[in-house]
Structure 1
Amino acid sequence: MKKDSLKSEIEAVYPRMVELRRQFHQFPELSFKEEKTSMQVASILKDLGLDVRTGVGGNGVVAILEGTLPGRTVALRADMDALPIQDEKTCDYRSQVDGVMHACGHDAHMASLLGVAQILQQRKEEIRGRIVFLFQHAEEQIPGGAAQMIRAGALDGVDAVYGVHLWTPLPRGVVGIREGTLMAAADSFQIQVTGKGGHGGLPHQAVDAVVTASHLVVNLQTIVSRQLDPLKSGVISVGKLQGGESFNVIAESAVLTGTVRTFDPEIRSDIQRQIGKVAEQTCQMFGAQCDYRYQWGYPAVVNHPAEACQVAEVARWMLGKDQVWEISPMMAGEDFAYYLQERPGAFCFVGAGNEQKDFVYPHHHPRFDLDEEAMKISAELMIHTALAALK
Structure 2
Amino acid sequence: MDILALLESYEFEMKDIRRYLHQHPELSYQEKETSQFITAYYDKLGVSYKKILEGMGVVATICGKLPGKTIAIRADFDALPIQDAKDVPYKSKRDGVMHACGHDGHTAILLVIGKVLHECRDNLYGQYKLIHQPAEEVPPGGAIQMIHDGCLEGVDAIFGTHLWATSPVGTVSTRTGPLMAKPDNFTISFKGRGGHAAQPHRTQDSLLAASSFIVQAQSIVSRKVDPLHPSVLSITNFDAPHALNVIGDRCTIGGTVRTFQQDVQDIIVNEMKQLIEGIKLFHGVDVEFVYHEGYPAVVNHEEETHYLMKSAEEILTSQHVTQASMEMGGEDFSYYLQHVKGCFFFTGALQSGKTPIPHHHPLFDLDEDALLVAAKVLTKTATEYSREKATE
TM bucket, shorter chain: over 0.9
SS in 2 for 1:325: strand
Q: Helix, strand or coil for the counterpart of 1:169?
A: strand
Give 1:174 deviation, angstroms.
0.5
Residue identity opposite 1:390 in structure 2: S
Shift in CA distance, 148/370, structure 1 to aligned 2, threshold 3 Å: same
AA aligned to 1:126 is: N
Amino acid at match of 2:203: A
Which residue identity lines up with residue 115 of structure 1 in the other structure? V
Matched, 1:240 2:237: yes
What letter matches 1:339 in structure 2? Y
User: Which residue of structure 2 lines up, in the alignment, with residue 21 of structure 1?
Assistant: 18
Number of the residue aligned with 1:327: 324
Give the secondary structure class of the aligned counterpart of 1:297. coil
Check conservation: 1:56, 1:154, Cα contact below 8 A: no
Aligned to 1:347, the other structure's residue is in SS state strand
Instruction: Tell whether the 8 Å contact from 1:186 to 1:296 is kept in structure 2 after alignment.
Output: yes
Contact map agreement 2:224 2:267 (CA 8 A) in 1: no
**What is the alpha-carbon root mean square deviation over aligned residues?**
1.2
Q: In the superposition, relative to structure 1, how do residues 123 and 95 fare at CA in structure 2: closer, same or farther (>3 Å)? A: same
Q: Which moves more between the two structures, 266-275 or 172-181? A: 266-275
1:179 equivalent to 2:176? Answer: yes
For residue 43 of structure 1, report the CA deviation from its aligned partner: 1.3
Distance in 1 separating the partners of 2:117 and 2:231: 42
Q: Counterpart amino acid of 2:51? A: T
Task: Show structure 2 runs of 5+ residues with no match.
Answer: 388-392
Native 8 Å contact 1:58 1:145 kept in 2: no
The alpha-carbon deviation at position 388 of structure 1 amounts to: 1.5
- 1:201, 1:248 within 8 Å by CA — same for their partners in 2? yes
CA contact (8 A) 2:225 2:267 kept: no
- Give SS of 1:207's match: coil
Give matches, 1:35-46, under 5 Å.
35-46=32-43
d(CA) in 1 for partners of 2:119 and 2:286?
A: 64
The answer as to whether partners of 1:57 and 1:149 remain within 8 angstroms in 2 is no
Alignment of 1:1-391 (within 5 A): 5-56=2-53, 59-356=56-353, 358=354, 360-391=356-387
Which structure 1 segments of 5+ residues have no match? none
Q: Which amino acid aligns with 2:86?
A: K
CA distance in 2, matches of 1:164, 1:359: 23
Opposite residue 257 of structure 1, the aligned amino acid is G
How far apart are the structure 2 equivalents of 1:94 and 1:285? Answer: 52
Q: Residue deviations 1:121-172, cap 9 Å, x none?
A: 0000011211000001111111100001001111010000000111012100
Q: Give the TM-score of the pair, scaled to structure 1.
A: 0.97
Tell me the distance in 2 between the aligned counterparts of 1:214 and 1:115.
51
CA shift for structure 1 position 228? 1.0
Tell me how far 1:57 sits from its aligned partner: 5.7
Q: Give TM-score scaled by structure 2 length.
A: 0.96
Give the AA of the match of 2:372: K
Q: Distance in 2 between matches of 1:389 and 1:282?
A: 56
Identity of aligned residues (%): 42
Q: Write the letter of the residue equivalent to 2:284.
A: G
Contact kept? 2:76, 2:103, Cα under 8 Å: yes
Query: Which piece of structure 1 moves more, 220-229 or 71-80?
Result: 220-229
User: In the aligned structure 1, how far is the partner of 2:123 from the partner of 2:170?
Assistant: 28
1:57–1:145 Cα contact (<8 Å) kept? no
CA–CA distance in 1 between the matches of 2:210 and 2:75?
Answer: 40
**1:359, CA displacement in angstroms?**
6.3
1:48 Cα deviation after fit: 1.6
